[in-house]
Amino acid sequence: MTRWKQKNVFVTGASGLLGSWMTQELVARGANVVVLLRDWVPASRLVTSGMIDKVTAVRGELEDLELLLRALNEHEIDTVFHLGAQTIVGTASRSPLSTFEANIRGTWNLLEACRLNPKLIRRVLVASSDKAYGEHAVLPYQEDAPLQGKWPYDVSKSCTDLITLSYWHTYKLPVAVTRCGNLFGGGDLNFNRLIPGTIRAVLQGERPLIRSDGTFIRDYFYVRDAVDAYLQLADRMDDPRFHGQAFNFGTETPMSVVEMVKAILARMGKVGVEPLILNEASHEIPKQYLDCTKARTFMNWRPAFTLEQGLDEAIAWYTEWLRQRSEHTVP
C-alpha cells in the first residue's frame, strides 16, 4: 500500500469502467493521480463519485502527442496506466478509422511520450484484451498464442499489444501488457454490453436483450479483481524480468451469454424472465477464454471475488445509480 504514497501516476481512460475504479484505488493508496479526459461525462462514476475532485485532470486526446509529452513532463509522472481506448465492438465496426486513431495511434503516441521521458517513467502498463488473440481453434488462450485479430476492434487491440512490446524489444521501455476477459462492474455506462444492459433492463421492468444467438462463450471478469491484477503487476515491475511481458487475467470459468443472463436474473430474483434473443451480432468471435497459469505462477495472483459477489456489487451499484438519476429527472 505504501509504495504508491506520493507517486505521480498517469491514468488514461479514467472516466471508463476500469479507469474509474483504478483511479479510486490509487487515490486511496495516496498516489498523486493525473487523468487524461477526452470527454466530460457527467454521469460517469469518476464524476458522480466525487473522484474527479481528488485528481488532476488533463483535457485532451491520446492522438495529441504534444499534449501527452507536456502532461508526463510537467506532472513528473512515474507510472502510467494506459486504459483509454474506444472499447465498443459495434462502434469499431461502424467507425474503424476513429477506433484505429484512438487505440493504435493513441498507444504509440503515449509510448513515444514515455520513451522521450526516460528519467521520469519507471513503469507503463498497457491494457490489451483477450480480443487481441483473435479467433483460435485451441482454447483457452495462452500468452504465447498468435495475436491475429480480424475485425476492427480486435485488430486495434492486436496492434496495441504488438506496438507496446516493440517498445520494450527496441528501446527497453519498462512496459507490461494485460490481457483481460470481459470486464464488468458498477460504472460501465455502455448499456449495449451484456451485463449492464441486462441489469438495467430488469431494474426497469423490461426483458433483457441478447444481441447474439446466446451461445457465445466469454470469460467475465469483475473490475475490482482487474484493478488488483494491474496493481500487483505494477508492484512487480521494479524487477526487470517483468518488463516486456504479457499476462492474462480472468476467472478461467467461461460462460455462454445465456448462462450469464440467467446468473444475473437469479441474483435479481427474476428467474422466470426470458431474455429476447435478437441474433443480430456480427464481427464477434464465438468463443474466447483465458488461461491464467502465468499470472498464478509468476505473481501468485488469483481473483478475490466470486462471480456472485461481483454481480451482487454491480447490481447494487446500478440500482443506486438509477435511483439517483430518477430523483434528478424533471417531470
Catalytic residue of the set 141, 153, 289, 318: 153
The burial of 45, by beta-carbon neighbours within 10 Å (0-12 exposed, 13-18 middle, 19 or more buried), is given as: buried
Could you identify the residue written with the cell 490481457?
179
Q: Where do runs of H (alpha helix) occur along 77-181?
A: 89-94, 96-100, 106-115, 152-171
Pull the grid cell for residue 287: 468463443
Instruction: Tell me whether residue 153 is one of the annotated catalytic residues.
Output: yes
CA distance 72 to 109: 12
CA distance 204 to 227: 30
Q: By C-alpha distance, which of 223, 233, 234 is closest to 303?
A: 223
Rg of the Cα atoms in the chain? 19
Which DSSP helix (H) or strand (E) runs through 263?
helix 257-267
Catalytic residues: 153
